[in-house]
A = this chain, B = another copy of it.
Amino acid sequence: MRIGEVADKAGVSVRALRYYEEQDLLPADRSPGGQRHYPDTAVGRVRLIQQLYAAGLPSRVVRDVLPCVDSGEAHPALLDQLESERARIDQRITDLLDVRDRLDDVIAITRDPDADCSPML
């Protein structure tokens, strides 16, 4: 597959794919003329990269954990990093849940001002 097709199927820009190659996240072979050529698995890999980005992992970390998530197993040396990333993600989930609850309160009260839970002044 050429780069445009991968971009379409994965729902990202061509520029993004070139960026991923630059960052060693997504290798590509080249045609004799120099055009990038990707295997079919590239689409899934791009989706995975997007998911990791969406989870807030910076590209450096993505680069490190990608091979593990790909293969399903990590070099033991990476275990610490994986666990610290796991912890960071856990913390983010907690934070997000908290913010969501706050927003829910505001939304509920705005919809039905009588059901106010805050202390009356």
A residues near B (Cβ < 8 Å) are 51-52, 54-57, 65, 68-69, 72-76, 78-79, 82-83, 85-86, 89-90, 92-93, 95-100, 102-107, 109-111, 113, 116-118
Copies of this protein chain in the complex: 2
User: Contact partner of A111 among B65, B79, B92, CB < 8 A?
Assistant: B79
| B51 pairs with A98, CB closer than 8 A | yes
10 contacts between A and B (CB under 8 A): A51-B98, A51-B99, A55-B92, A55-B95, A57-B99, A69-B106, A73-B109, A79-B107, A83-B107, A96-B96
| A109 pairs with B52, CB closer than 8 A | no
User: Contact partner of A69 among B65, B102, B113, CB < 8 A?
Assistant: B102
| A96 pairs with B89, CB closer than 8 A | yes
Q: Known contacts being A106-B82, A109-B72, is A100 close to B95, with CB within 8 Å?
A: no
User: Contact partner of A116 among B72, B90, B103, CB < 8 A?
Assistant: B72
